[in-house]
A = this chain, B = another copy of it.
């Protein structure tokens, strides 16, 4: 049993971490830190935790938090805010899994350009390890600070990585059309997140300029240049990414368009996925069918299907996951399991909640 704390415990990612950790066989939840709800009882803010182990847990202000008493801390804070807090927490020597965008880039200028803020701790960012488990397991095991990937990014990378370095894929003309449920936007009080504004409608937003664009492209390029294995590809990735807001609670569906430089086949493409993921527990490659959000919502699984269109020489990849789980808290727990050598699916065994 390890002692785990969460800083930023009452945002949606925070409570998803709580939900998972309170049933984790190897974890004892220690402190739950919340700025907006300090000193309240958790069950008074989120009544779904009545009847759980956390029935009596009180939320803590960060000034009262002693990081060295935990063996792992999840920081679930807005980007910008996380820079300083994680910097302070790292000093305690405790391992950190950070859910924000603040430590996902070793190239600070890319971060600063796309996020529009200065990075105060670039040296720490350069030491952070990118937490896409299936991509970077070896480094994750040794990391003190893990930068957990963005939700759109996880869905996109899982669909693209197995193909991008193949000889017949054009890596520099990738289009990602992604659709997300509303929980991905968090609990902030914005009029465009009101039920009456979101329900029974949909929209595109931030086309070509969403921050996750840069993260997808950056990680693909790191991958091609060998940062996660021994490869050294001459290819370079360029990504056009358009997110959409869809009136569901949980779930991301990324439709990815890849150009081919020669004829291929469904079999060849399937084999690339199968080789890349092998026995990966949480990645499911579908043959001759496409995934739906309901297959994975409530679980840590990602499902990937594809269609090879010989007529237009393109591959359409469809990648789905639950943005709160494999897209955020679930992958964070998977990373924790990796770090502490627990079973990788400990606490993550649930299948999708359907209907």
The residues of A with any CB-CB pair to B shorter than 8 Å are: 12, 15, 19, 22-23, 46-52, 173, 175, 177, 179, 182-183, 185, 187, 189-191, 193-205, 207-209, 238-240, 242, 244, 246-251, 253, 255, 257, 281-282, 284, 286, 289-299, 301, 303, 307, 309, 311-312, 314, 316, 318, 324, 349-355
Contact = CB atoms under 8 A, between A and B. Distances in A.
B251 A202 contact: yes
Contact of A200 (B191, B248, B351): B248
10 contacts: A47-B291, A50-B303, A195-B198, A199-B199, A199-B249, A202-B293, A203-B290, A204-B253, A208-B316, A238-B312
Contacts of A353: 19, 298, 353
A248 to B, nearest CB: 5
Number of copies: 4
A255 B250 CA distance: 22
A200 B249 contact: yes
Given A204-B290, A242-B316, 12 more contacts: A19-B354, A47-B303, A48-B295, A50-B295, A175-B314, A194-B195, A195-B195, A195-B197, A200-B297, A202-B248, A204-B253, A207-B307
B199 A46 contact: no
B196 A182 contact: yes
Contact of A194 (B187, B295, B312): B187
A47 B281 CA distance: 15
Contact of A248 (B23, B247, B309): B247
Binding site secondary structure of chain A: loop
Contacts of A19: 351, 353-354
A307 B177 CA distance: 14
A15 B303 CA distance: 20
B244 A253 contact: yes
Contact of A48 (B200, B296, B324): B296
A144 to B, nearest CB: 31
Nearest to A44: B289
Residue in A207, A239, A246, A314 with the greatest tally of chain B CB atoms within 10 Å:
A207
B255 A355 contact: no
A321 B312 CA distance: 27
Given A201-B293, A208-B309, A247-B248, A187 B196 contact: yes
